[in-house]
Structure 1
Amino acid sequence: MLSIGKELQMDVFSESGCLLLKRGHYVLTPELKQKLIKMGFAESKPEAKTAEKPNINDHKKHSLFEDISFLQLRVRNVLYHALTAQGFEAKVMEIAQALIQLAEKQRDALIASIFLVPFTEYSVAHSLHTAALLSILTRHITLPPKHRETLICAALTMNIAQVELQNELFAQADRPDDGQRQAIFDHPIMSSAILREAGIEDQLWHTLVQTHHESWQGNGYPFALPREQILPPAHMLHLADITCAKLLPRRYRSALLPATALGHIFQRKDTEFDQAFTTMLIKELGIYPPGSFVRLASEEICVVISAGAKPSEPLVAAIRRADGPPYGTPLLRDTGKPGLKVTAPCHASEAKVRVSFLAHLWKS
């Protein structure tokens, strides 16, 4: 019933009833296969091969965060095995289409996943975050056929030449050395070369990967293109890339609060970023994006669930008082009331809760 690289045709549970792997997800490593064989019990017999492929949004009783965790595994698989796995382009396209589905049907949960879903490899998470953000930003943009998917595919693969280097840079306390800086400078071209070897012939895909670090100020790399030579989708990819990078920490700096990061980007409109794109970014994410944390006038620490009637009045769930333990369950709060207004954003560390405690707030 278990084959590496193929979809599961059944739910697999542990003996105690804990769901190990959901039907429709992939077994990507020999280690995962052996773990499932050792621990798993199938819910039912596998369906016939002609059965309709499960839709990522068909599962009604679990959190989207589980889907995102499995998407991380799929992204890791394509990034590390681009030159050895068969059907590379189709696999990347499937991930892009899954993100588009999620952006259309579960926008708030997808945004929240950027902030909340744990990851083990920065390079994988960053590619997925950037692609997820682009799937959200392009919801209401009219693009030529397949261009939306191509843009998201470019986000997923833009750093394929420096997957391990990105993980090193994320963990190291010092700034990049000369060798690392040269590898960073070269990676847009090298990534394009790897993609070509992997069978990607779409020239737009290559152009987006090659130019995703070009800047309107003319000081980007590797070509230092002037503003008028940078394609709008490449510029949008550049914006999404920088936005997601600012939202996660490094050893040598802390993550910026989402409101602070978005403020920094909005201040650079028309000089470094297209004002139309930055306006779209602020509109889609809001002042307080879903998955970020805020403090209320009641001195409660809350997680933002979605936008409210006003940008300053998001729908939130209280997790704990600032000086107390977490509540038994998150409690919805109306931030439009005077005693419950948002007073400031705060870091996730102040919430002091696991993601599993919050995941049910965004149900499939």
Structure 2
Amino acid sequence: MSDLIRIAPGALTIGRPLPWDVFDADGNVLLRQGYVIQTNTQLEQLFERGRFQPRKIERPKEEVFEDLRPRNPFADYADLLTALEATLKAITSADPSAQKRLLGLSRMLEKTCQASPDASLALVHLYSIGPTIHEQILFYAILCHFTARQFGLDDKRISVLTSAALTANLALVPVADQLNASNRVLTDDQRAVIRKHPERSIQALTSAGITHKLLLKIIAQHHEQGDGSGYPGGLSGTDILPEAEILALSERYVAMITKRAYRNRMNISEARKLIATLGDGKFRPAIPRSLLQVLGDYPPGMLVRLDNNEVGVVTGRPVRARGPFVKAIFGPRGNRYNGTFERDTSLLEYNIRGPEEPEEMPSMDFSMLWGFRA
């Protein structure tokens, strides 16, 4: 495998699942995507020996920046993040390719969600403990896609919303990771940056030739609130687009379940309960309801304990009278299974007893769990 690239220091973090498979210099697999690095020694060994294989995206002759391969959200995760970063840089530098990059990335993400909905939702929960700003943006777009479809928006409006979710926080990218890592009270300057980011994101988009009216309006309104307490315009009620509310709710949910230096993360069950209360004044009631219907009681990627005392990861939402579906990874006595066992939790012995929400995800082979690798 001659196209392997050495892993750069800073690309991996202790306690977070690997974003891709790791190989040695001869192309042998050292660790599968989803393995969680436990120690500094392991981290140093990977920087010393580890390689990864970037997946080459072929550009059609008309230069539409779109990847047409079959969709595996886990294998594509690193590519989606790389494409997002390149797209945002193209916008901020007013590169002529910016609009085509954004359209291609939006289509790529939508096709991924449509082809593998449960696995796409699982990304949000498997990587939610300490995501970077680019990961958070990707999660916003995934949640917007599913929530908007559940809410009843048509395909064209969903596509525009997806593009808005990918770009609404463009002005925050340079400072977001620093803000999330700080446990100090925000300064007046930092608060000003946050409050002005919708306007500054719109300025960057228009400078890059991206002037779609609905796209810009969604971004302008995505921090307005139904009771008039939002910004920048203090809009209320139906003056706010449903797309803007869907984006705002997606951002809020991701903020709830992610860890910040200044607060602990909320577990998924608590976050769902809080989302259920937001239809009273802040949002149209149907929008929080749509997100909760998308997530289900136990969203894909969440760890749960079964009545037989096994621990597994939710891989599929309920289908008619069956599910949610769980792959058991730990036995009743806490032993790690050599492989996985699918459990239909509608069966009495495999009923879900409750969530298991550790501060650190156990190592898992995501592609295998969701059936993408034999």
TM range (shorter): 0.7 to 0.9
Q: What's the CA shift for 1:295?
A: 1.3
Q: What's the CA shift for 1:15?
A: 3.3
Q: Secondary structure at the match of 2:88?
A: helix
Partner of 1:225: 235
Q: Secondary structure at the match of 1:249?
A: coil
1:362 counterpart = 2:370:
yes
| One-letter identity of the residue aligned with 2:255 | A
Q: Is the 8 A contact 1:312 1:342 kept in 2?
A: no
Distance 1:149 1:173 in 2: 36
| One-letter identity of the residue aligned with 2:294 | E
Residue correspondence of structure 1 range 1-364 to structure 2 within 5 A = 15-18=26-29, 55-57=68-70, 63-84=72-93, 85-117=95-127, 122-139=132-149, 143=153, 146-309=156-319, 313-321=323-331, 324-349=334-359, 352-355=361-364, 357-364=365-372
Q: Is the 8 A contact 1:151 1:208 kept in 2?
A: yes
Larger mean Cα displacement after TM superposition, 277-286 or 339-348: 339-348
Larger mean Cα displacement after TM superposition, 262-271 or 67-76: 262-271
What CA deviation, in whole Å up to 9, does each residue of 1:72-121 have, x standing for no partner? 11111222342333311111111111121122121001000111248986
Q: Secondary structure at the match of 1:220?
A: coil
Distance 1:175 1:319, change over 3 A: farther
What CA deviation, in whole Å up to 9, does each residue of 1:132-156 have, x standing for no partner? 1112223356546732221111100
Q: Secondary structure at the match of 1:290?
A: coil
| One-letter identity of the residue aligned with 2:362 | V
Q: Is the 8 A contact 2:151 2:290 kept in 1?
A: no
Q: Is the 8 A contact 1:213 1:220 kept in 2?
A: yes
Q: Is the 8 A contact 1:185 1:222 kept in 2?
A: yes
Q: Is the 8 A contact 1:15 1:41 kept in 2?
A: no
Distance 2:257 2:54 in 1: 39
Q: Secondary structure at the match of 1:82?
A: helix
Larger mean Cα displacement after TM superposition, 279-288 or 302-311: 302-311
Using the size of structure 1 for normalisation, the TM-score is 0.80
Count of residues in Structure 1 that have an aligned counterpart in Structure 2: 330
Distance 1:74 1:40, change over 3 A: closer
Distance 1:220 1:48 in 2: 43
Identity of aligned residues (%): 27
Q: What's the CA shift for 1:18?
A: 5.0
Distance 2:151 2:107 in 1: 16
Distance 1:40 1:140, change over 3 A: closer
Q: Is the 8 A contact 1:330 1:358 kept in 2?
A: no
- Structure 2: unaligned runs, 5 residues or longer: 4-22, 31-50
| One-letter identity of the residue aligned with 1:226 | S
Distance 1:253 1:203 in 2: 37
What CA deviation, in whole Å up to 9, does each residue of 1:195-214 have, x standing for no partner? 11111111211111111110
Q: Secondary structure at the match of 2:315?
A: strand
Q: Is the 8 A contact 1:123 1:166 kept in 2?
A: yes
Using the size of structure 2 for normalisation, the TM-score is 0.78
Q: Secondary structure at the match of 2:139?
A: helix
| One-letter identity of the residue aligned with 2:368 | H
What CA deviation, in whole Å up to 9, does each residue of 1:169-222 have, x standing for no partner? 221123322221111111111111111111111121111111111011211111
| One-letter identity of the residue aligned with 1:152 | T
What CA deviation, in whole Å up to 9, does each residue of 1:326-363 have, x standing for no partner? 2111221232333322111121446x5224x2332224
| One-letter identity of the residue aligned with 2:88 | L
| One-letter identity of the residue aligned with 1:124 | H
| One-letter identity of the residue aligned with 2:245 | H
Q: What's the CA shift for 1:64?
A: 2.3
- Structure 1: unaligned runs, 5 residues or longer: 3-12, 20-38
